[in-house]
């Protein structure tokens, strides 16, 4: 029997046991189709998250939601548009709090009566520029999405970054009491076992919330010294499943788009900067 989460509506969450939608418009699907690379099929035909990094990404969201509805599948969405995203190292993000609130309202409107699992703002709570103003924005976003029937998983960073005690305080301030759960290891390379252990300690401190674990990059051991920017010898992790058989884990998911670069990394690679960079910090 699943635990009843304190402070959350009584409706059952849709993630455990759900069928996940395969996104025909994913980066991997585009690359396969553009290059005629059928060997990419096992990646492109695996469910992955749809990232919303700004208003332009809302244009095609209804098509994705319609496909999920037609296939009776669960959409998985990442909202990644908070102001001062990545503490200014990233040129993206909303211009200010008012623009961010408008973006959340537009997202709620486009989602309409669709029900999705929403990973809210990778990095935003764990980052060093987290403050009261950002917490207030996240509280509002959690409330609006939850009140609209969405199932919100507030990003909690990854195991090397912050202690469970510090992250728990930040998450409580950011509105986790109204969220469905936590997202752990998004776009990072920590093992599923380490992420689960750390996530359980964190969950204990925030009302036994369930978690999503990103396995899109953890197929090999994490690189030494917390190297985050395109480290060598990395691999896809366990394929997505909504029946992981792990306590308080709703699903193992490919949240980060497989194969995306973290940017030039100071080595001169001619590669685009991806959405959602992840820097584990001490």
- Average pLDDT of the segment spanning 48-71: 97
Q: DSSP secondary structure string, 43-100?
A: HHTS--PEEE-SGGGGTTHHHHHHHHHHTT-B-EEEE---TTGGGGTSS-S-SSHHHH
Q: Verify whether residue 123 is a known catalytic residue.
A: yes
CATH of the domain at 208: 3.20.20.40
pLDDT tens digit sequence for 163-196: 999 999 999 999 999 999 999 999 999 999 999 9
pLDDT reported for residue 7: 45
Which residue is associated with the tokens 């080595």?
A: 267
203 domain residue, yes or no: yes
Q: Which residue of the set 23, 57, 214, 262 is catalytic? A: 262
- Average pLDDT of the segment spanning 81-99: 93
CA 37 from chain centre, in angstroms, equals 27
Among 175, 176, 167, 108, smallest CA distance to 137 is for 175
Residue of 10 and 134 predicted with greater confidence? 134
Domain tally, the chain: 1
206 domain residue, yes or no: yes
* Confidence check: pLDDT of 101 > 50: yes
Q: Cα–Cα distances in Å, from 27 out to 40, 51, 93, 274?
A: 11, 10, 20, 11
- Average pLDDT of the segment spanning 278-282: 36
* Confidence check: pLDDT of 119 > 50: yes
pLDDT reported for residue 276: 41
Domain of residue 163: give its range: 83-253
Q: Which residue of the set 23, 57, 123, 214 is catalytic? A: 123
Q: Which residue of the set 23, 86, 127, 214 is catalytic? A: 86
| CA distance linking residue 280 with residue 282, whole number of Å | 7
132-147 and 164-173 are packed helices; what angle lies between their axes, rounded to 10 degrees?
70
31 domain residue, yes or no: no
Q: Say if CB 253 and CB 215 are below 8 A apart.
A: yes
14 domain residue, yes or no: no
38 domain residue, yes or no: no
pLDDT class of 268 with cuts at 50, 70, 90: low
SS (H, E, C) 196-236: HHHHHHHHHHCCCCEEEEECCCCCCCCCHHHCCCCCCCCCC
| CA distance linking residue 192 with residue 185, whole number of Å | 9
Which range among 72-81, 140-149, 153-162, 264-273 shows the weakest confidence by mean pLDDT?
Answer: 264-273
Q: At residue 233, what are phi and psi to the nearest 5 degrees?
A: 50, 60
pLDDT tens digit sequence for 224-255: 877 888 888 889 999 999 999 999 999 999 99
- 3-class SS at 9? coil
């Amino acid at each position: 029997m699943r635990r009843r989460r304190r402070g959350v509506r009584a409706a059952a969450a849709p993630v455990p046991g759900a069928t996940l939608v395969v996104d025909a418009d994913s980066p991997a699907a585009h690359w396969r189709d553009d290059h005629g690379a059928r060997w990419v099929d096992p990646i492109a035909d695996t469910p992955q998250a749809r990232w919303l990094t700004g208003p332009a990404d809302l244009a095609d969201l209804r098509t994705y939601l319609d496909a999920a509805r037609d296939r009776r599948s669960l959409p998985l969405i990442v909202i990644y548009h908070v102001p001062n995203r990545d503490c200014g190292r990233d040129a993206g993000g909303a211009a200010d709090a008012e623009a961010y609130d408008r973006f959340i309202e537009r997202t709620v409107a486009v989602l309409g009566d669709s029900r999705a699992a929403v990973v809210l703002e990778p990095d935003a709570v764990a980052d060093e520029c987290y403050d009261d103003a950002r917490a207030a924005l996240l509280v509002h976003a959690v409330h609006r999405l939850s009140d609209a029937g969405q199932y919100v998983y507030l990003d909690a960073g990854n195991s090397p970054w912050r202690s469970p005690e510090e992250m728990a305080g930040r998450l409580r301030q950011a509105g986790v009491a109204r969220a469905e759960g936590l997202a752990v290891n998004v776009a990072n390379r920590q093992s599923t076992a380490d992420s689960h252990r750390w996530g359980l300690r964190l969950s204990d401190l925030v009302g036994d919330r369930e978690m999503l674990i990103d396995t899109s990059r953890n197929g090999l051991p994490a690189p030494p010294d917390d190297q985050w920017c395109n480290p060598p010898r990395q691999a896809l992790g366990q394929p997505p499943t909504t029946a992981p058989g792990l306590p308080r884990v709703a699903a193992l998911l490919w949240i980060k788009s497989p194969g995306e670069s973290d940017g030039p990394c100071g080595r001169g690679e001619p590669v685009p900067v991806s959405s959602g960079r992840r820097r584990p910090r001490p």
